[in-house]
Amino acid sequence: MLDKELTVEDVASRIKADYPNDCNLVFSDNNADEQVIRIRTIKPDKGGDDESKVEDDVMLKQFETHLLDTLTLRGVLGIERAFLNKETKLIETDDGALLAAKADDRCQEWYLDTS
């Protein structure tokens, strides 16, 4: 998480934003040796029969799959990489002439290539 400049609090707040009424989160401090997020699901109490335990297992597996595979922590969904590029563009000067000079800052156009 350090190489991506993410904190435990950032991850926890993103999970809480996706599931505001479905879970409680407790997380460790950023300076802790092991950074841990504990997630407790909130559900209405239906009793303790075996069928609800099976449903709980399925629900937890789906929750885990969503957290690990589809939850976007930062950025835009579907964009994995972005490259910053610069090109020279054609501009019109005050006297009506066209100018395309690499040395002129007005002719530089920056854009993002995404994949």
pLDDT confidence of 44, banded at 50, 70, 90? low
Radius of gyration of the chain (CA): 25
Least confidently predicted of 1-5, 20-24, 82-86, 94-98:
1-5
Overall average pLDDT of the 51-63 stretch: 81
Q: What percent of the chain has pLDDT over 70?
A: 88
What region, left, alpha or beta, does residue 42 occupy, with left being phi > 0 and alpha being psi -120 to 50 degrees? Answer: beta
Kindly give, in sequence order, each residue whose CB lies less than 8 Å from that of residue 20, ignoring residues fewer than 6 positions away: none
